[in-house]
Amino acid sequence: MTAKEFKELNQNNQILHIGNVWNVQSALIMEKLGYKALGTSSLAIANSLGYEDGEDINFDVLYKISKQIISKVKIPLSVDIEGGYSRDTKEIVENIVALYDIGVVGINIEDSIVEDGERKILSKDEFSKKLREIRSNLEEKNIDMFINVRTDNFIMGLENPLEKTLLRIKSYEQNGADGIFVPCIVNIEDIKKVIHTTFLPVNVMTMPTLDDFNTLQNAGVKRVIQGPFIYNNLMKCFEDKLEDINNDNSFISLFS
């Protein structure tokens, strides 16, 4: 599938439910269950390898895992590159090109970065400049990649998140974004305001109080993701099962 075809998936009337994966097995299971597209979860990948989220692993690790997934599934893969795995735009472009060369059709890139263990949001103008340079460099190389921009005022719990998000979206729309991702936005009226601010497809992430797919679709949301929550839930089930075995002094709970 090409980036153009993937873009069409993100613009359908039917909401696109992206399955978030961290290895080949999780990708194969989601493909088997009928998912139309996959996206890597940076947190799930990092945690599964014993690291924290926030580019704590290096790009080579992400590349290797992405390549393994691409080699085994037939549905499109978008890769979460967080802040780009570099602070240098040229190196970020090189990372994107490397993913493109193995068949990745889309990326998620964030307008916040983690430095010294703390997440900080870049200024609107600083990130817009970076985004514009990335898009320009890719176009020069004749590389079509779906760029889904994650904007982090809500997930970081910053003041006036809706107002700041709306301002950023217009700038990102003008500087090369193909889609907008607003993690941790849950109020349906806030979501509608975001949607009405841009012609780009809007992406939200599952949260305990997020509305069901039908409500989101009727509001105009084009894409929903699972984030790391499938992985987190799976690890919790794993821990609970081990506790049952230890408490029972028996493996009977494995088969009940």
- The mean pLDDT of the chain is 96
Give residues with Cβ within 8 angstroms of 144, minimum separation 6.
Answer: 2, 3, 4, 138
pLDDT tens digit sequence for 45-88: 999 999 999 999 999 999 999 999 999 999 999 999 999 999 99
pLDDT tens digit sequence for 122-146: 999 999 999 999 999 999 999 999 9
Query: Residue 239 falls within a domain, yes or no?
Result: no
Instruction: Give the Cα separation of 104 and 195 in Å (integer).
Output: 26
Query: Residue 194 falls within a domain, yes or no?
Result: yes
Query: Residue 40 falls within a domain, yes or no?
Result: yes
pLDDT of residue 20: 98
pLDDT of residue 106: 97
Share of the chain above pLDDT 70, in %: 100
pLDDT of residue 1: 78
Residue 4: pLDDT band with limits 50, 70, 90: confident
pLDDT tens digit sequence for 107-121: 999 999 999 889 999
Residue 186: pLDDT band with limits 50, 70, 90: very high
Tokens encoding 82: 């967080």
pLDDT higher than threshold 90 for residue 2: no
| Structural domain for 153, as ranges | 3-228
Query: Residue 49 falls within a domain, yes or no?
Result: yes
Cut 0.85: pTM above it = yes
Residue 90: pLDDT band with limits 50, 70, 90: very high
Residue 235: pLDDT band with limits 50, 70, 90: very high
| CATH code (residue 175) | 3.20.20.60
Give residues with Cβ within 8 angstroms of 180, minimum separation 6.
Answer: 148, 149, 151, 169, 172, 173, 194, 198, 200, 201, 202, 203
Residue 256: pLDDT band with limits 50, 70, 90: confident
Query: Residue 107 falls within a domain, yes or no?
Result: yes
Residue 231: pLDDT band with limits 50, 70, 90: very high
Query: Residue 233 falls within a domain, yes or no?
Result: no
pLDDT higher than threshold 90 for residue 196: yes
Count the domains in the chain. Answer: 1
pLDDT higher than threshold 90 for residue 200: yes
Query: Residue 248 falls within a domain, yes or no?
Result: no
Query: Residue 7 falls within a domain, yes or no?
Result: yes
